[in-house]
A and B are shown apart, each in its own frame.
Chain A
Amino acid sequence: MCTLDQLKDRHSPCECETSEITAVLGRRPSRRAILTSALAFSAAPLIARMPAMAGSTLAVSDIAPGVFVHQGRYELQSPENRGDMANASFVIGNDSVAVIDTLGSAKVGRELRAAIKAVTDKPIRYIINTHMHPDHVFGNAAFKEDNPEFVGHHKLRRGLEARAQSYMASSKDMLGEDAFDGSEIILPTKGVDDTLTIDLGGRSLVCEAQKTAHTDNDLIVTDSTTGTAFFGDLLFSGHIPTLDGSLRGWLSLIEQLEGRTVARVVPGHGPHAMHMPEGILPEKQYWSVVAADVRRLIKEGNSLTEATKVAGQSERSNWKLFEQYHVRNVIAAFAELEWE
């Protein structure tokens, strides 16, 4: 994500991959009905997008029994996308619902809530944020009326408090008054020190606090029933990864994650669901190339400016939004790795 206004005029139109399954939900359809409509829509993707554009409910897909994902666009914040540029998910248990990330404004947050209400009337008891970035947390405000537990990494509170003013100001600026209206920073009510298990009735979600990687407050959530893991922005696909934590930490976490056995994984930015370890390999390659290039340039005595011109350029064609984020990534990598 990025909230910097400087990127605004480089804003590029939506280049989202059309997902393999895109279903627009009506009133509590069966899984079969959703899949049927998904297939129909996949043959006519324009039709599939229309209801979302009309502002009714957000398009969500079920990727496993009781597990739904909305795919965000590969874009920067804009009045047009209203902060709908990350993935948001929800998991339905026998007793209650947990939402994992809430998108980037109260407005799209409310649409996400409407999409959940269209699928289930079970109460929304948990809002889990995978990390602090605005495109994952500003929709929290839409769920206040549900009086849920807001769950995050134990460092999420500090991260949000330190950035509250700049996140509010820059998001308002990027999204415009209209789309930003009603958005606010909602701090977690439950911090995860190490792991936390949430019981939704008949299924549980395991939340695991990670060491500094994408940010210093990354949380991985796993649904025990279906073996679905929600990696948040520890996994990018298609959309270039962005670094706001530690490159060394992220690369070592990727090695751990590669060895995980999960049925499927939901990225923070990318398609609805992916397989491991294949899903994380492009990201691993990107960061490995950036790290290797930057380390070599440092060793050769090059300056930061020189590094920003050449490091990681071989990855350019592999990622959307490369132009918008890559140099920032190199700067962050350089500033970290020069201390090795």
Chain B
Amino acid sequence: METYRKAIGRAAAIVMAATWMVGAVYPAKAEEDMWPSLRSEVFGDRPIKESDGVVILDAPSRAEDAAVVPLTVRVPPAVKGPLKSMWLIIDQNPAPVALTVTFGPAAGNGGGERRFTTRVRIDTYSYVHAVVETDDGTLHMTKAFVKASGGCAAPAPKDADQASADLGKTVVKSFDPALQTAALREAQIMIKHPNTNGLQMDPDTRAYVPARFIREVAVRRGSELVFKAETSFSISANPNFRFTYENASENTLEVTSIDTDETKFVGHSTQVSITQ
């Protein structure tokens, strides 16, 4: 919860300063290095190993749609043992910590490449930092620069009426691996939610619509946790996660998410055989 509160506090401060609503603030702002302060805010004085090959971040150098930027964190097969946690931090966003993931026993111990993909909003030219904590408590970090603009300040959904229909509908797919004996399999979660950031004006009341977004996602296989994520409104509308987890005899997932109105949504996975 601490990260979430920090993110909100930061968002409020920046909104009051009204800088990010102007949109055209990037190059000067992007030159400002936010990382040292973010780093100490999130990780204190813990040492972080930089670009040591434990964590790889795939991000587009240019975001075609700043409101839907796919980011993939990969941990190569050479890294053994369970992972403890992961952070995705978009330095220049109003809520920089896009998500904090805590992995559980069903996330797997490796034996293949571990991946975690989500879609984020990126408000301006920004570094994205991916940090992974391995089982020994060491933090590993890598970063990528993404040219984007207006991801957060382009809040309006394409179809305003459709966006609020089926709120919380959760679709979970668990993909059968090509090899039945593979150590890891992949799953995808889609949650229908506008993930509003509080900066949209209600046309009737002319007041800002209060922020309402998914703040927590928990994924379980039976009684075992795959992961639990704290999320901010830096996650795109209709939050989407794709990730690897341990391939076992029973792979059905239960996904529980909670939004900032404390509404809870639940979904269960269907098993999908990929026919290529």
B231 to A: closest C-beta gap in Å = 17
A6 touches B149 (CB 8 A): yes
Residue in A closest to B276 when the chains form the complex, CB atoms = A300
Within 8 A of A (CB), among B28-50: none
Residue in A closest to B163 when the chains form the complex, CB atoms = A216
Complex contacts, B150 vs chain A, CB 8 Å: 3-5, 166, 170
Query: Is there a chain A Cβ closer than 8 Å to B139's Cβ?
Result: no
Complex contacts, B117 vs chain A, CB 8 Å: 303, 305
List 14 A-B pairs, Cβ < 8 Å.
Answer: A6-B62, A6-B149, A161-B201, A165-B21, A212-B158, A216-B159, A245-B158, A299-B275, A300-B274, A303-B72, A305-B60, A328-B65, A331-B65, A331-B68
- Consensus secondary structure, chain B interface: loop
Query: Is there a chain A Cβ closer than 8 Å to B85's Cβ?
Result: no
A335 touches B238 (CB 8 A): yes
B66 touches A4 (CB 8 A): yes
Query: Is there a chain B Cβ closer than 8 Å to A35's Cβ?
Result: no
Query: Is there a chain A Cβ closer than 8 Å to B26's Cβ?
Result: yes
Residue in B closest to A158 when the chains form the complex, CB atoms = B203
Residue in B closest to A168 when the chains form the complex, CB atoms = B23
Alpha-carbon gap, A279 to B65, bound state (A): 29
Complex contacts, A172 vs chain B, CB 8 Å: 24
Alpha-carbon gap, A308 to B68, bound state (A): 12
A251 to B: closest C-beta gap in Å = 15
A307-334 interface bits toward B, Cβ cutoff 8 Å, 1 = contact, 0 = none: 0100000000000000000011001100
Residue in B closest to A162 when the chains form the complex, CB atoms = B156
Query: Is there a chain A Cβ closer than 8 Å to B148's Cβ?
Result: yes
A339 touches B70 (CB 8 A): no
A54 to B: closest C-beta gap in Å = 30
A159 touches B156 (CB 8 A): yes
Query: Is there a chain B Cβ closer than 8 Å to A215's Cβ?
Result: yes
Known contacts A155-B160, A162-B160, A339-B190: A170-B24 contact under CB 8 Å: yes
B161 touches A5 (CB 8 A): no
The 5 closest A-B pairs by CB, nearest first: A169-B23, A162-B156, A173-B24, A301-B274, A327-B64
Chain B interface, number of residues (Cβ within 8 angstroms): 45
Query: Is there a chain A Cβ closer than 8 Å to B145's Cβ?
Result: no
Query: Is there a chain B Cβ closer than 8 Å to A244's Cβ?
Result: yes
B64 touches A245 (CB 8 A): no
A246 touches B162 (CB 8 A): yes
Within 8 A of A (CB), among B134-192: 147-150, 153-156, 158-162, 171, 175, 186, 190, 192
Alpha-carbon gap, A317 to B257, bound state (A): 44
B162 touches A212 (CB 8 A): yes
Alpha-carbon gap, A340 to B244, bound state (A): 23
Alpha-carbon gap, A3 to B149, bound state (A): 10
Alpha-carbon gap, A301 to B273, bound state (A): 9
Query: Is there a chain A Cβ closer than 8 Å to B63's Cβ?
Result: yes
Query: Is there a chain B Cβ closer than 8 Å to A338's Cβ?
Result: yes
Contacts from A to B (Cβ < 8 Å): 3-6, 155, 157-159, 161-166, 169-170, 172-173, 212, 215-216, 243-246, 249, 299-301, 303-305, 308, 327-328, 331-332, 335, 338-339
B109 to A: closest C-beta gap in Å = 24
Partner of B201, one of A162, A216, A246, A331: A162
Alpha-carbon gap, A213 to B203, bound state (A): 22
> Contacts A246-B158, A304-B70 given; 12 further ones with Cβ under 8 A?
A6-B64, A6-B66, A166-B150, A166-B155, A216-B162, A301-B274, A303-B70, A303-B117, A303-B242, A327-B64, A328-B64, A335-B68
Residue in B closest to A174 when the chains form the complex, CB atoms = B24
Query: Is there a chain A Cβ closer than 8 Å to B58's Cβ?
Result: yes
Partner of B148, one of A6, A163, A216, A327: A6
Complex contacts, B240 vs chain A, CB 8 Å: 304
B44-80 interface bits toward A, Cβ cutoff 8 Å, 1 = contact, 0 = none: 0000000000000010101111101010100000000
Which has the most chain B C-beta neighbours within 10 Å: A161, A215, A244, A299? A161
Complex contacts, A249 vs chain B, CB 8 Å: 159
Complex contacts, B66 vs chain A, CB 8 Å: 4, 6
A301 touches B149 (CB 8 A): no
Partner of B272, one of A212, A216, A301: A301
Which has the most chain A C-beta neighbours within 10 Å: B23, B62, B72? B23
Complex contacts, A164 vs chain B, CB 8 Å: 201
A330 to B: closest C-beta gap in Å = 8
Query: Is there a chain A Cβ closer than 8 Å to B256's Cβ?
Result: no
Alpha-carbon gap, A83 to B20, bound state (A): 24
Query: Is there a chain A Cβ closer than 8 Å to B119's Cβ?
Result: yes
A5 touches B26 (CB 8 A): yes
Partner of A246, one of B63, B159, B200: B159
B190 touches A216 (CB 8 A): no
B153 touches A332 (CB 8 A): no
Known contacts A169-B153, A335-B68: A216-B158 contact under CB 8 Å: yes
B275 to A: closest C-beta gap in Å = 7
Query: Is there a chain A Cβ closer than 8 Å to B22's Cβ?
Result: yes
Complex contacts, B64 vs chain A, CB 8 Å: 6, 308, 327-328, 331
A5 touches B72 (CB 8 A): no
Complex contacts, B65 vs chain A, CB 8 Å: 327-328, 331-332
B276 touches A5 (CB 8 A): no
Alpha-carbon gap, A245 to B272, bound state (A): 29
Alpha-carbon gap, A274 to B150, bound state (A): 35
Residue in B closest to A243 when the chains form the complex, CB atoms = B158
Alpha-carbon gap, A87 to B24, bound state (A): 27
A339 touches B192 (CB 8 A): yes
Complex contacts, A304 vs chain B, CB 8 Å: 68, 70, 119, 240
Partner of A6, one of B63, B158, B159, B192: B63
B211-255 interface bits toward A, Cβ cutoff 8 Å, 1 = contact, 0 = none: 000000000000000000000000000101010000000000000
